[in-house]
Structure 1
Amino acid sequence: MKILVISGAFLLLSLGGAAVAQTTTVVVPGEVKTYVEKQDTPSVTFEGDVAVGTALPDTVEIHTIPDQPDYGYVVVNKKRVLVNPKTRAVIEVIK
């Protein structure tokens, strides 16, 4: 019985560590980046660091990308930023 309990505990610890170590990488289609780079959109000012995972406030207007409902963009602090329009989280800082 002790071996079974120890094995179960080891399994739980192993799975927990694996879950923590996983990261999510979003592969953005090239045409999305190309579209965003070509847009003449004014920059908005954002206090703080704009990095992947940063949630932008409701006061920042997210622009849509035609035929790409999973992506939006904003020019923040003169950097083009891809955003998940549902969560408002930054997916990628283009430039």
Structure 2
Amino acid sequence: MSIFKQQRPTMRLAAIGALAIGLPLAGCASGAGTGAAGGAVAGAAVGGPVGAVVGGVTGAAVGAALTPDETTRVRTYVVAQRHPSVRVRDEVVVGYPLPRNVRLYPVPASVGLSTEYRYAVVNNRRVLVEPDTREVVYIIQ
């Protein structure tokens, strides 16, 4: 039995609408790997099977495209660095543009990222940042 047959008709329409809008975004998203998995897990916790689908699509649209190996290398490098944390008033989430007073640090080529990100330490959290827009693309756990 499919998940759509188990839901009320309004739930089916919501799920179909989310898929119709979100799947094209997921196909061209830069973070379809890491973001989709994280979004699906978060969505499932909140909304069950339908939430997993919607969360996966949303996560794919906003997450950084890091392979598991890149994630490990970046985390290892960034955590070993000792830079002061800058306090910002807002919650720092993926997509948040960092203020100009937050210093961005380079990720050396030896770390092996396929994209040229910078990193910052904000509110005692390390984040990867797209340097041109200063937007957070990945929160390093």
Q: Same fold (TM over 0.5)?
A: yes
- From the superposition, tell whether residues 80 and 19 of structure 1 become closer, same or farther in structure 2 (CA, over 3 Å): same
Task: Return the match for 2:92 from 33, 46, 50.
Answer: 50
For residues 75 and 18 of structure 1, the distance between their equivalents in structure 2, rounded to whole angstroms, comes to: 31
Letter in 2 for 1:38: A
TM-score by length of 2: 0.49
For residues 34 and 27 of structure 1, the distance between their equivalents in structure 2, rounded to whole angstroms, comes to: 17
Q: How many Å apart are 1:58 and its aligned residue?
A: 1.4
Does 2:81 match 1:35?
A: no
Does 2:21 match 1:17?
A: yes
> Which residue does the alignment assign to 2:129?
83
What's the CA shift string for 1:3-34, capped at 9, x where partnerless? xxxxxxxxxxxxx8356753243233132221
Letter in 1 for 2:98: L
Structure scoring higher RCO (CA < 8 A, sep ≥ 6) equals 1
- Counting matched residue pairs gives 80
Structure ranking higher in helix proportion: 2
Letter in 2 for 1:85: P
Q: Which protein shows a greater Rg?
A: 1
Q: Which runs of 5+ in 2 are unaligned?
A: 1-19, 27-60
Identity fraction in percent: 36
For residues 95 and 62 of structure 2, the distance between their equivalents in structure 1, rounded to whole angstroms, comes to: 11
Q: How many Å apart are 1:36 and its aligned residue?
A: 0.6
What's the CA shift string for 1:44-95, capped at 9, x where partnerless? 1111010000000112110111115611111111111111112111011114
For residues 126 and 133 of structure 2, the distance between their equivalents in structure 1, rounded to whole angstroms, comes to: 18
Letter in 2 for 1:66: P
> Which residue does the alignment assign to 2:119?
73
Letter in 2 for 1:58: R
> Which ranges of 4 or more aligned residues in structure 1 deviate by more than 6 Å?
none
